Amino acid sequence: MRDMTLQARLSRRGFLGTAAAAALLPAQAMAQASTALAGSTANGSGSMLPVAAPATPDLSGLPGVAAMGKGSGKPLVFGHRGASALRPEHTLASYARAIADGADYIEPDLVSTRDGVLVARHDAFVNETTDVATRPEFASRKTRKTIDGETHEGWFVDDFTLAELKTLRAIERLPQLRPGSAAYNGMFQIATFEEIIDFVAAEAAARGRLIGIVPELKSSTYFSSVGLPLEDRFLAILAAHDYTRRNPVEIQSFEVSNLKYMRGKLGQRANLRLMQLVVNEPVRPMDVAKAGGTLTYQQMCTPAGLRDIAAYADVVAPPTRAIIPLNKDGTLGQPTALVEDAHRAGLRVEPWTFRPENYFLAADFRSNGGPAARHEAGSIAEMQRYIATGIDGFFTDDPALGRAAIGS
């Protein structure tokens, strides 16, 4: 196969179409970080800002609330973009439903506005998840860009200020498959990362249980190339919020260098894990490709590659079908050695993404309905097949079904 960089079909978004605690930073240091951050946003230099690696005592927990996962022995349930089978993705409504349905973690994918604010969208292209195409005041912003090997024509988050994005409203990405979610179109704004942290902290305090956050840094190489690097903005936000200093956070990326940078800045923290996203394909991460490297995701999924990941990350997150592939007839096959190999390397395994509609289920778990039909029993049974392989957590668009699959 010819050499490739990351294609749309290899992102979690692309798979939809193919159906297949740290100590508090001293006040002076925080002030310096904030000043430096403001300067970077203003001058668009794209340089990494100095963020001190804090000390690492275990401060996780809330008053009167036990730390997450102590002795449970069960896989963690990650609400993929919230409860995105039921509400428009990456909205507070989607996160609220995921939390109400028992998600251990909720996932904000993070991208940057033109003025350097981190907001939750699955990628920089916002046509499919907002009503921007209906807004005549933004018609002139329509353009064409190639990001992570995928070319789109439309509107992009980094061409809007936060104030402009806040005038848009979220819509369902897959209305034909999820008409119930589409009924909520137009009700919700785009949320910033800081708004999401505050929301999760409030929910955790109200419900008396910890709720983790599993943010993904999206398209780091692209955003750095346009003068909007994500990493130091992200680190400054983590440091500024008591909740993320103390409570569970797993940082994801399909790239490698940004995770290594995070490990260098954050060190080992009791409330923190780093998650390397992979696909089992001979495709290079975007940062590797830009640097002229040869490392592919397929190589990263070998025993030697997994040992290399374990040097800087705690988790490997492959697509579900890399753990149990499909047979030619679309039914589930036999498990690969990936879970065993990753555990042997010292990594947790937390695959993505389980979805309850027939369109996404393996053939032996579908109902007799059409592609958009929800088959809850089939989705639960499919997840249980994967849980039996020994995975440590999993992403699902419907966290209530994930909870049912693990029996709690």
Compute CA distances 97 → 84, 86, 107, 128, 269, whole Å: 9, 8, 12, 21, 29
Q: What is the DSSP letter of 247?
A: S
Number of domains making up the chain: 1
How wide is the angle at C-alpha 96 spanned by C-alphas 189 and 195, nearest 5°? 50
**330 found inside a domain:** yes
pLDDT at site 106: 98
For the chain, the straight-line distance linking the first and the last C-alpha, in angstroms and rounded, comes to: 44
H/E segment holding residue 105:
strand 105-106
Give the pLDDT of the chain (408 residues) as one tens digit per residue. 444 444 444 444 443 333 333 333 333 443 444 444 333 333 333 334 434 444 444 445 555 555 554 446 799 999 999 999 999 999 999 999 999 999 999 999 999 999 999 999 999 999 999 999 999 999 999 999 999 999 999 999 999 999 999 999 999 999 999 999 999 999 999 999 999 999 999 999 999 999 999 999 999 999 999 999 999 999 999 999 999 999 999 999 999 999 999 999 999 998 999 999 999 899 999 999 999 999 999 999 999 999 999 999 999 999 999 999 999 999 999 999 999 999 999 999 999 999 999 999 999 999 999 999 999 999 999 999 999 999 999 999 999 999 999 997
At 232 the three-state DSSP class reads: helix
CATH of the domain at 391: 3.20.20.190
**136 found inside a domain:** no
pLDDT at site 73: 77
Query: Domain range spanning residue 119?
Result: 4-42+56-124+189-406
pLDDT at site 65: 54
pLDDT tens readout for residues 345-370: 999 999 999 999 999 999 999 999 99
How wide is the angle at C-alpha 15 spanned by C-alphas 377 and 407, nearest 5°? 30
**62 found inside a domain:** yes
Integer Cα distance of 112 and 102 in angstroms: 29
pLDDT at site 233: 98
Integer Cα distance of 114 and 156 in angstroms: 10
Residues in a beta bridge with 395: 78
Residue 185 contacts residue 89 (beta carbons within 8 Å): no
How wide is the angle at C-alpha 316 spanned by C-alphas 315 and 317, nearest 5°? 115
pLDDT at site 407: 92
- Say which amino acid occupies 259: L
pLDDT tens readout for residues 218-241: 999 999 999 999 999 999 999 999
Residue 157 contacts residue 124 (beta carbons within 8 Å): yes
pLDDT tens readout for residues 313-347: 999 999 999 999 999 999 999 999 999 999 999 99
